[in-house]
Amino acid sequence: MGDMDLRSEQTHRNKNTSVSLTSKPPRTPIRHTSTNYLSMTIGSGTMEESGRVVDSSLAARDSRLRHLDVYLNERSVLRVKSRISSAENITADQRAPAVLDGDHLTYTKLYTAWLHRLLLHVGTETVVNEIGQYFWVLKLRSTTRSIVKSCLECRIRKTRPPEPPTGDHPRC
């Protein structure tokens, strides 16, 4: 029995479970989904001020975006113009990272927590560096620190065993 016969037999056996051992797993469009989430976060929370910043080119005095050079791209994602925009061999997301609010629960906090788990519960600085390569997150360090501190696995791993009480010295 050749390799092709074995593969077709395995595929035939697994037709009842609709799984083929010879086919590759389907690719999920993570980039497209990520862009859709970014577009949704623009209109919510404190990111509503992004429209005012882009339209009027003047941010309010209390705006967290006033020191950033931001623009809306063709997909309505707020991006910051960075100093490395003319660099070669980097992606478009790295040239102009998307601006996210650190307090946005449905995307930023969940993404930060997911990345913390994906990187095997590393510290705050590693997660900040990984996120900072693709996104400009307002209050990134404090958001990441709160997620790392609330991680149960990290808290268990960092605990120290209690010192047993020492007994009294014997009388002389």
Give pLDDT tens digits for 155-169. Answer: 999 999 888 888 888
| CA separation for the pair 57, 25 (Å, rounded) | 46
pTM (predicted TM-score):
0.65
Query: Within a domain: residue 19?
Result: no
Best CA proximity match to 148, nearest among 172, 118, 117 = 117
**Does residue 131 lie in a domain region?**
yes
Of 83, 144, 155, whose CA–CA distance to 116 is shortest? Answer: 144
pLDDT tens-place string over residues 35-77: 555 555 554 544 555 555 555 455 566 777 778 888 888 888 8
How many whole angstroms separate alpha carbon 69 and alpha carbon 131? 19
Instruction: Please report whether residue 12 resides in a domain.
Output: no
Residue 102 falls inside a structural domain: yes
Number of domains in the chain: 1
Q: How many CA atoms lie within 13 A of 96 on its CB side?
A: 14
CATH number for the domain spanning 44: value is: 1.10.340.70
Decide if 89 is inside a domain: yes
Q: Does any domain span residue 22? A: no
For residue 105, give its domain range.
Answer: 27-158
